[in-house]
Amino acid sequence: LELTTATVKSVTPLGMGDRVCVDTCSLLGLGQGLLVGNSSQALFLVHAENVDNPYVSQRPFRVNAGAVHAYVLVPGGKTRYLSELSAGDEVLAVRHNGQVEIAVVGRVKIEKRPLLLLSAEVQDRSLSTVLQNAETIRLTTPHGEPVSVVELKPGQEILVFLEEGGRHFGHKVEESILEQ
């Protein structure tokens, strides 16, 4: 996949909501994660939990992917809602260089957590996603480095996947769809 560099515009704390952890049956590497977003036209590379931190042990099979409504890219050029995933489903594990592997979902955990709204832009195109507001949730820089959402500042660069058109029941369609 061709990933694009986006620039962070804002990080806004939200209230509580349901977020989804996707536990895969694969060990994900540095610079690898899932493509997730509020719109199928703009998916953020959410990094796997394979980074040392003082809060929890590494879980290199897990991506704390985002809110239940978010899209995630799956094989076949389709998207699914994070809340639809279950054991045995397949997702695309994407590296910062665009290399893609299929990963099988082992389980999905949905829990209430504090959320944040991440807004970014590519040229004059606005993008957003809702993620858990915690130090262990990371996005991916153009160099494949994880960056915690609590450390993101306006002007920082992160990786996204962009596409034109829209989605209907997860399938790509060539029509004008506005998702806000």
11, 104 Cβ separation under 8 angstroms = no
Instruction: Give the mean pLDDT of 30-37.
Output: 97
pTM: predicted TM-score of the whole model, two decimal places: 0.90
Task: Find all residues with CB under 8 Å of 68, minimum gap 6, and list them.
Answer: 17, 18, 19, 20, 81, 82, 83, 110
Task: Report the mean per-residue pLDDT for the chain.
Answer: 92
Neighbouring C-alpha atoms within 13 Å toward the C-beta of 146: 23
* Residue whose C-alpha is closest to residue 78's, from 164, 173, 160: 173
pLDDT digits (tens, 9 = 90+) for 116-143: 999 999 998 999 999 999 999 999 999 9
149, 137 Cβ separation under 8 angstroms = yes
Distance CA 163, CA 168 (A): 14
80, 88 Cβ separation under 8 angstroms = no
pLDDT digits (tens, 9 = 90+) for 63-96: 999 999 999 999 998 999 999 999 999 999 999 9
